[in-house]
Structure 1
Amino acid sequence: MAQYSDTNLIVNYLPQDMTDEQLRQIFDSEVPGVKSVKICRNNATGYSYGYGFCEYDTQELANQAIAAVNRRQVGNKTLKVAFARLRSDQTRNCKLRLSNLPSWLTQEALQSVLDQYGSVINCKALLDPNGACRGVGFCLYETRSSAEQAMNSMNGKPWPNSDSLPIQVRYADQNEKKVRAPQAGHYQHQHQPQHQPPPPPQMHQQSMNFYHHPAASYHRQPQPYGHHPQYVQQQPPMPPQQQPHHHNQHFHGGFQHPGHQGAWGYSQPRYS
């Protein structure tokens, strides 16, 4: 049996740009005595999930707030206010991620289908700048049983009354865990400097800078000191009396690898 708070209210369908202070003003203007308010957001990006909570000191004030604010029009949203459920196992795994959604799907069409399986706290289809669905959407149900029913009914089937690809429905929390780990590894691989091979033992101290330079990774195998035929062969021979030492020829001329410029003919890698 679901248990509800006597004083804490959940407010659904908040405008995306609403702040905590604006939410407080809506309730305080109707029923003064708000104890606390909080809009639920992504911790990393600050993105609003479209719902929040408002708490009063007494059940009487909370009931008055429901009567005054529920179904109020704010911008293009109609607020839905009710007593919040107490935390329990039934409130876990209530968020679903839907993929392979048709490009023509609208926010209203998504919610009308998801409402058939239980009370929806919030749902959202991800849209591109032109307003077309990106193929991905999220839905937060009030109970786990509603989320399970939606997943069992929709997963692996085309969108109702269409010939779209089979919809994939998963718990959002599980899907995020699967996606984040590879991304973290990819980020580290791309943004951490690579270790450079040690210089050949016969190299003098003056020439070690070349092999410790980040661009040295372009050379698969270090050649003996002073011997770089791929560069030397492109330069015309010089009379013996004018021929400089090999290490001066290479370092003062600066190796110019295609597409890289800067000190020693290279630009430093940019790690963002």
Structure 2
Amino acid sequence: MASLWMGDLDAYMDETFILNAFSAQGENVASVKIIRNKLTGGPAGYCFVEFADQSCAERCLIRLNGKPLLGANPARRFKLNYATHSRQPDGRIVYNPRPPRTQSPEYSIFVGDLTPEVDNNQLYDFFVRKYPSCMSGKVITDPNGVSRGYGFVRFAEENEQKKALGEMQGATGLGSRPVKISLATPKNRPRPEYSQDPDPKLDVDEANRELMEQGEEMYEALMNCHWQPLDYTTPEMFGVVSP
């Protein structure tokens, strides 16, 4: 058995609703466990969905995560994540929403210029067909679930990440536009340290003093100019040649 955590559930979403939601997407679920608030007894807003094996769970996570949840009112989307469970000595099964992060490195790329219809599953399929170590594809959406036009793809092998950076730039077949590829920047990358303030504050008094000095120099330069009265000007001074 394998489990997924499913969140962002409304109070009316019971086991039957969840089973039907997966069934409508062509996926078979072994069981659903709605988690309840220990104090109020009401739904806690999430559940655990069990599948026959790990491959089924992973397929659902990749295919459905972020897709519209059919029958939801107001509109909701599948919000899925990995989950683990363990059996206690008294026979109870304890679920853990998210497993511990593995220490194995992951390598990501940024994929831009995605058209609105591209979802997580399409993004993943586009890369995994050529790069077997592709682990997931994630399209970034706004709070309403609308694509922001870009996403991220993760690889288990660095060499395949590098190959994708070179080979998939401008590739077509994902949505209706060629994709733009670049190296993904880790969110936790340390900020650069500066030996001095990169954006020093403006010293207003000093700036005003320099401006006044420049103004005085300009005034003195004008005063030192010797202007000839119009009575003393000749046509040649203006580039006019007398006949």
After TM superposition, the score normalised by the length of structure 2 is 0.38
